[in-house]
Structure 1
Amino acid sequence: MKSIPQIDDEKDTKALISSFTKLIGLGNLGKKVNFKRHSLIDLVTVIVWMIKARFARKSLPRFDKPVNFTKRTGRNVLNDGRINWQKLICLAAAKLISSLRPVIDHRRRLALIVDDTLMSRSCSTKTELLARVYDHNKKKYLTGYRGLTVGWSDGNTFLPINFALMSTKEPKNMIGKAPVTQDQRSIAGRRRAQAQRQMNDVTVELIKQAIDEGVPADYVLFDSWFTSPKMFWQLKQLGLDSVGMVKQSKKIYYRYRKRLYDVKGLYARLVASKIPKKENYLYSCVVQAQYRGHAFPLRLVFATNRGKGKQYLVLASTNTSLRPKEIIQLYGRRWQIETYFKAAKQYLALDKSQIQSYDGQCGYIAVTALTYDLLAWQERLNTDDRTIGDLFYLMNDALPDLAFEEALVYLMTALKEAKIKLTDKISKIIDNFISMLPKCIQNALEEPA
C-alpha cells in the first residue's frame, strides 16, 4: 500500500459524498426508481449513511446511529421490494458518464463488459432463493448466488452500471426459501423471476435497460461463458458490436469458404493452408455464423495462449472491419471487471451481506456499486496514481470518531492556554505535535475559543 497523504478540509469524506450525490442527481432519482415512504426521509439521506458505513468498514447494525432516522428505517429501505435498484444504478452511471464525456478522447471505443462472480453464503440456508451454484474456479458446487454484472469502460475508468442476483430454477439446487412473491406486475416479482431465468437472456435484458437509460456504448465484451451465435445476434439487433472468446466446441459450426467447420477444424484448415503466422497472433479470418436462419459475419482471431504450450485462444468480433490486433487489445479491457470484483469484495464487502431477503441483498449490491462509482470518479479526477484501495483507505481515515476529535481539540487548547507556565522545551514539543495533526484539527485549534 502506498503512503497516503493526510486528508484536508477540501477532501473531507462528507463533502465528497455530498458532491457525488449532487453530481448524479440522486435527490431527483427517488421517484424515478419508485422510492415511496410516508416519512420525510429521502433516499439520499439513507444511501449517504450506508456509503459512510462502507468507508467505516462496519455493518449497518454496528455503524453509528443516523441523525434523522433509525437503523431500522435504513434496513426497511433496503428490504423495500418496490424500489427498482437496477434502474437506480443505470441512471446514476449515465449521469456520471455524461460528466466524464468532456475528458474522454473521441477516438476511445466505449464498451460494456459482462461477467459474473460467486456470492458465497455458506451459513444462510434460510435466505430467500439461496441455491447451489457452480464455482468455475474451484470446479465444484457452493452455496450462494451468481452476481451477474454489467460494467462500462472507456479504457481508463470502469463503472458498474447494472446487475442481477442470479439463483436457479432447478428444484434440486434450491436450498433457501421460495420467493415471497411471484406477481409479475410488481418490481419485486419481476426481479425474482429474472433471477431464475437463463443468465445469457438476463444479460441481454440488463444491457438493453442500460442503453435505454442513456448509457453510451459501442461494444460489449464477454468471456466464453456468454459467447454464442445467439448472443452475438441479439446484441447486434441492439446496435452493439461484440468481442468475446469463442468456446472450442464441436457443437457450433462456422461457414468458411463454403464449408462448415468447428473451431478446431477451422484452425487445422488454416494450418494446412500454410498461411504464415503473424507476429502478434496466429491466424485471422472472416467466417459466417448462423442463428435461427439469420446469417451474419464474424471475424475470428486465433491468438497464442501464453504459458500453455501449443494451446491457442479464439476471439470473435461482429465488427469485421476491426484489425486482429485491435480485437485483442479491446478484449484485454475485459479484465477491468475482474478488478472491480476483487476491489468490491476486498474493500466494500460485496459478498459479506447477512441480509436474508432477496430485495435487501439487491439493495446491498446497489449501494456497493454506488460506493465504487464514487471511488472511480475520484480516481479519474485525481492526477496522481492512487488506486481504488488507496482511495478507500483515504475515505476511511477521513471518518474519525467525532468525540475523539473534540476531546483532542479540547486537550490541545488547554495546553496552549497553559503554555506560558511551561518551559521552552515543552512548548516546542507541543508545537511540533500540533504541526503533525490533520489539517481539520489544526484549523479547529486556530479558531478563537
Structure 2
Amino acid sequence: MSSINHSQENNESYFSIDTFFKQIGIGEIIHQVNFKRRTPINPTEFIKWLLTTIFVRQSLYRAKEAPAFTTRTVRNFLNDGRINWQKFVCLLASAVIKCLRPFIDSRRRLALIIDDSLFARPYSKRTELLARVYDHDKHEFLHGYRALTLGWSDANTFLPVNFALMSSKDPKNILGPCHNLDRRSLAGRRRYQAQSKMNQVAVELVSQALKHNIPAQYVLFDSWYSSPKMFDQIKQLGLDGIGMLKRSTKVYYRYRGRLYSVKALYERLRSEKRSPKATYQYSCVVKSDSGIELRLVFVRNQRKANNYLVLATTKVSLHPDEIIQLYGRRWQIETYFKAAKQYLRFDKTQVQNYDGLCGHLAIVMMTYDLLAWQERQEKDERTIGDLFYIMGEAMPDLSLTDVLVWFIKLLNQLVESEPVAPIKQLNETVDKFISSLPQSIAFQLQKA
C-alpha cells in the first residue's frame, strides 16, 4: 500500500508542473520572447524536460532523452541567440506575481532587491566571455562570471525577476573567446551588457522589470551598489532606494550647511550628545552632491560592539525602524543564491555558449519560481529545499500512470468488438474507476 501512495505522490509533481504552466500562460510568454526556431515540437516540452533534469540532478549530457527529441535539440534551443531570456524571466515573474496578488495584503511594501553572486567555472577554458572574477568570500580571483540578479519580495515570497551574466569590463581579465556580434542584434547587446559597469546594468535591470509590470515601491541593495549616483538614478525611475553606505572619506554629504563624510558625520552626531534609541543610534537627513535628500540611519553592528552600519534611503519620511526592517528583507536574495546553488544546479552546467549560459540561468530561475509558487499557492509550510526533494523523487517514476494508460487503451480496443449492452456497463465501470483515482492521474488518463 505504501508503494502505491508513493507512486501517486510522484504523479502529483508532473501535475503541478502542468498546472503551473497553465496558470502563468507559458505558451504566450514563449511567443513574446522571440522564439523563431522552426520545429514541430512545442518549446514548452523543452522547458519541461529541462525542469525535470534539474529535479533529478542530471546534466544535459547524462539526462535521459525524451522520445520526441534529443539532448542536442535542447542545447540548440538554449544556445539560440534570438531568444530574449531576460524578458522571459521578467514575464514569468510578472505572471507569478499576478497569481499571488490575491494572497498579498494591500498594505505590504513591495520591493526589488539587487545583488550578485559568483557563477564559478573553475575548469573551463574555452567558455565564451569567461573572465577572472573576484570571490569576496575566499578573497581570491577565480574563473567564472558574476550573476547579477534582480529579485522581487513581498516580505513573504521571493522571486527572481531579471538577471545579467556579467563578465569583465577589462579586456585583460577576459579569458574565453569573445564574439564581436552586431550590437543591433539581441545577442550582440547581451554580450555588450556583460562587459559594462555593474551599477549601470543594475539600473537597466530595474528599468526593464518596471516595463514588464513588476510592482514595487523600493529597491534594496548593499554597499557594493550604494552611491549618490545610484540613489539618484533609482529615484528617476520613480522608486525609492534603500542601501547600506560605505564609510568612505571620498564621498561627502551636506548636513546643516557643511560637507561631511560618513565617518565625520557620525562623530558630529556623537558630539551633539544625542541619546541612542533601542534599535538604532542616530538618524539625520542630508543632501548629496546632486541635491537629492537622503535619510541616514546609524545602526550598531551586532558583530562588533565598537562598530556601526549606515543605512540610507531617498524616502526621508520613513521612520528609522521601518528603514531597518525593510533593509533586513534584502537577505532573501542571499537565501535564493544558497538554494539555487545547493539544489538547482545554479553554476553546474557544461554549456560553453554565452547565450546557452543565459538560457540555463533563466531555467534555474523558472524552477525556483515553480517551487515558490507551489509553497505559496498551497500554503505549504515546507521549505524550498523540502519541496525540491519531493519533486526530484517524483520525476523518475511514472510506472503507475503508464500502466493505467495502457490498461484504458486495451479496454477501448476490447469495447469495439463487444455488443452494445456490455459496452455501456464497461464504460460506466471505467468512469467510476477513473473518478476514484487521484486528480493528477485521472487528468493524465482523460488526456490519453
- TM (normalized to structure 1)? 0.87
| 1:106 partnered with 2:106 | yes
Partner of 2:57: 57
Contact preservation (8 Å) 2:89, 2:162? yes
Within a 5 Å distance, the mapping from 1:257-268 to structure 2 comes to 257-268=256-267
Q: 1:27, CA displacement in angstroms?
A: 0.3
Q: Distance in 2 between matches of 1:159 and 1:8?
A: 29
Amino acid at match of 1:287: V
Amino acid at match of 1:66: A
Within a 5 Å distance, the mapping from 1:137-156 to structure 2 comes to 137-156=137-156
Contact preservation (8 Å) 1:181, 1:188? no
CA deviations 1:278-331 (Å, max 9, x no partner) are 1110000001112xxx30110000001002121000000100010000000000
Q: Distance in 1 between matches of 2:441 and 2:238?
A: 56
Partner of 1:351: 347
CA deviations 1:51-100 (Å, max 9, x no partner) are 01111111122112113222111110000000000000000100110111
| 1:230 partnered with 2:226 | no
Query: SS of 1:295's equivalent?
Result: coil
| 1:365 partnered with 2:361 | yes
Partner of 1:173: 173
Partner of 2:42: 42
Q: Distance in 2 between matches of 1:403 and 1:61?
A: 24
Within a 5 Å distance, the mapping from 1:10-409 to structure 2 comes to 12-178=12-178, 180-290=179-289, 294-402=290-398
Q: 1:248, CA displacement in angstroms?
A: 0.3
Query: SS of 2:14's equivalent?
Result: helix
Deviates more, 1:7-16 or 1:70-79: 7-16
Contact preservation (8 Å) 2:12, 2:440? no
CA pair 103-403 structure 1, distance change in 2 beyond 3 A: closer
Q: 1:171, CA displacement in angstroms?
A: 2.2
Q: Distance in 1 between matches of 2:37 and 2:255?
A: 60
Contact preservation (8 Å) 1:114, 1:220? yes
Q: 1:400, CA displacement in angstroms?
A: 3.0
Q: 1:441, CA displacement in angstroms?
A: 13
Q: 1:237, CA displacement in angstroms?
A: 0.4
Q: 1:24, CA displacement in angstroms?
A: 1.5
CA pair 221-442 structure 1, distance change in 2 beyond 3 A: closer
Q: Alignment identity in percent?
A: 57
Query: SS of 1:145's equivalent?
Result: strand
Partner of 2:429: none
Q: 1:22, CA displacement in angstroms?
A: 1.4
Deviates more, 1:98-107 or 1:149-158: 98-107
Q: Distance in 1 between matches of 2:332 and 2:396?
A: 32
> Deviation above 6 Å: which 4+ runs of structure 1?
404-407, 438-443
Contact preservation (8 Å) 2:7, 2:398? no
Partner of 2:415: none
Deviates more, 1:195-204 or 1:8-17: 8-17
Amino acid at match of 1:153: S
Contact preservation (8 Å) 1:182, 1:193? no
Query: SS of 1:150's equivalent?
Result: strand
Mind listing any 5+ residue stretches in structure 2 that lack a counterpart? 407-436, 443-448
Tell me how large the CA RMSD over aligned residues is: 2.2
Partner of 2:421: none
Deviates more, 1:378-387 or 1:268-277: 378-387
Q: Distance in 2 between matches of 1:167 and 1:130?
A: 7
Contact preservation (8 Å) 1:9, 1:439? no
Q: Distance in 2 between matches of 1:440 and 1:257?
A: 67
Contact preservation (8 Å) 1:8, 1:440? no
Contact preservation (8 Å) 1:90, 1:210? yes
Q: 1:347, CA displacement in angstroms?
A: 0.3
Amino acid at match of 1:247: K
CA pair 230-305 structure 1, distance change in 2 beyond 3 A: same
Mind listing any 5+ residue stretches in structure 1 that lack a counterpart? 411-437, 444-449
